Amino acid sequence: MLRLEGLRAGYGPVTVLQDVSLEVNAGEVVTIVGGNGAGKTTTLRAICGLIKPQGGRITVDGRDTSRLAPPEIVDLGITMIPEGRQLFPFMTVRENLMLGGFKPAARARIPERLEEVLTLFPRVRERMTQLAGSLSGGEQQMVAIARGMMANPRLLMFDEPSLGLAPLIVKQVFQIIDTVVASGTTVLIVEQNIVHTLQIATRGYVLENGRVAMSGPGPELLRDPHVKRAYLGV
């Protein structure tokens, strides 16, 4: 579905991604793990069209999308749930969810989609009339995921979904991601919390200094001596 070939990207004169090649196939749960500054978020931003690649190719179903603007990427069925939730704080949860379904293809079926999404996230239903900014961090993360689901994406990308959340809440967030996966959505997760993610991932990529250092099935990577030493401190 999604394929990156020799992607080079960064900000202004700075190149963060030197050479990143990876692919995500329909139905997979793929994760990109790595330390701070390895280029995980930059990869997602380039896929979303938030930054333009300096080199290499990004293709979706064989079509080059490197030059497309973010709304066009969303129209193709690729939605990102940004790091730090990034809700619209002075709007109600309902309004946030409706904005999730803003793209023309989703707009027509907002009421039906809202029902489907709220069935997956019963906790969000209780908060519908509250301002998004007044929710707790964990609740905000659930709303952010529900908002992403509103676009009915083929590929849902999570940027550091566990960042800044208490361990108990992190567990809940991963349960929710399991629910999303079970609903048939293809998922790409970027995480520093590698134990949780590699356990649920069909495939994982380890990013180091803007390059793919290793890749393989998630649980296998978790047993790798280099990964254990570098990321788990054992």
Partner 1 sequence: MDILIQLIANGVLLGGVFALISIGLTLIFGIVRVVNFAHGELLMVGLYATWLLSAKLGIHPYLAAVPLAIAFFFLGALMQRAIIQPLMNADPHIQIFATVGIGTALANGALMIFSADLRSVDVPWARQATDLFGLASVSRGNLVAFAVSGIATTGLILFLRRTHLGRAIRAVAQNRYAAPLMGIDVNRIYAITFGIGAGCVGLAAAVLAPLYPAFPTVGSFFVLTAFVVVVLGGMGSLEGAVIGALIIGLVESLAGYYVAPDLKEVVYFLIFLGILIVRPAGLFGVRGAE
Please give, one letter per residue, the 3-state secondary structure of the chain.
CEEEEEEEEEECCEEEEEEEEEEECCCCEEEEECCCCCCHHHHHHHHHCCCCCCEEEEEECCEECCCCCHHHHHHCCEEEECCCCCCCCCCEHHHHHHHHCCCHHHHCCHHHHHHHHHHHCHHHHCCCCCEHHHCCHHHHHHHHHHHHHCCCCCEEEEECCCCCCCHHHHHHHHHHHHHHHHCCCEEEEEECCHHHHHHHCCEEEEEECCEEEEEECHHHHHHCHHHHHHHHCC
Task: Indicate whether 82 belongs to the interface with partner 1 (CB under 8 A).
Answer: yes
Q: Which of residues 106-135 bind partner 1 (CB under 8 A)?
A: 107
Of 10-18, 102-110, 120-128, 210-218: span binding partner 1 (CB under 8 A): 102-110
Span from 12-20, 60-68, 74-82, 175-183 in contact with partner 1 (CB under 8 A):
74-82
Stretch that binds partner 1, among 6-14, 84-92, 178-186, 204-212 (CB under 8 A): 84-92
Q: Give the residue with the Cβ less far from partner 1, 99 or 230.
A: 99
Q: Does 79 contact partner 1 by CB under 8 A?
A: yes
Residue 72 amino acid letter: E
Nearer to partner 1, 51 or 213 (CB): 51
Out of 30, 53, 103, 212, the residue judged to bind partner 1 by CB under 8 A: 103
CB nearer partner 1, residue 39 or residue 148: 148
- Under the binding rule (CB under 8 A), the answer on residue 99 touching partner 1 is yes
Q: Three-state secondary structure along 53-108?
A: CCEEEEEECCEECCCCCHHHHHHCCEEEECCCCCCCCCCEHHHHHHHHCCCHHHHC
Considering only residues 11, 27, 86, 199, which one is a binding residue for partner 1 as defined by CB under 8 A? 86
Q: Does 146 bind partner 1 (CB under 8 A)?
A: no
Closest CB to partner 1 among 85 and 196?
85
Which residues 41-60 are close enough to bind partner 1 by CB under 8 A?
48-50
For the CB of residue 13, give the shortest distance to partner 1 in the complex, in Å. 16
Interface ranges with partner 1 (CB under 8 A): 48-50, 69-71, 74-75, 79-80, 82, 86-91, 95, 98-100, 102-103, 107, 147, 151
